[in-house]
Amino acid sequence: MRTPTAVLGAGSFGTCLAMLGAREHDVKLWARSEGTVEAINRDRRNPRYLSEFELPERIEATTDLREALAGRELVILAVPSHSLRAVMQEAGPYIEPGAIVVSAVKGIEYETGLTMHGVLEDVLDREHHPRIVALSGPSFAREIARQRPTVVTLACREEAFAIAVQATLSCPWFRCYTQTDVIGVETAGALKNVIAIAVGMSDGAEAGLNARAALMTRGLAEITRIGVAQGAEPETFLGLAGMGDLLLTCTGDLSRNRRVGLGLGRGRPLPEIVAELGEVAEGIQTTRAAVRLAARLGVEAPIAAQVRAVLEGEKTPQEAGQALMSRQLKSERDATFQRDARRDD
Give the strands of the sheet with 5-8, arranged side by side: 59-62, 27-30, 5-8, 74-77, 100-103, 132-136, 150-155, 174-179
Return d(Cα 184, Cα 206) in angstroms, integer.
32
Among left, alpha and beta (phi > 0; psi -120 to 50; other), residue 278 is left
User: Is the distance from CB of 252 to CB of 156 less than 8 angstroms?
Assistant: no
Q: How far is CA 179 from CA 18, 103, 309, in A?
A: 23, 15, 35
3-state secondary structure at position 75:
strand
User: Is the distance from CB of 265 to CB of 317 less than 8 angstroms?
Assistant: yes
Give the amino acid at 308.
R
Q: Which residues are catalytic?
A: 192
Which residue from 154, 212, 224 is spatially nearest to 182, judged by alpha carbons? 154
Q: How far is CA 198 from CA 76, 277, 289, 295, 335, in A?
A: 30, 17, 16, 19, 22
List beta partners, residue 155.
134, 179
- Indicate the Cα dihedral angle 54, 58, 63, 65, nearest 10°: -140
In this structure, what are the phi and psi dihedrals at residue 98, rounded to the nearest 5 degrees? 85, -5
Which residue from 301, 152, 153, 306 is spatially nearest to 227, judged by alpha carbons? 301
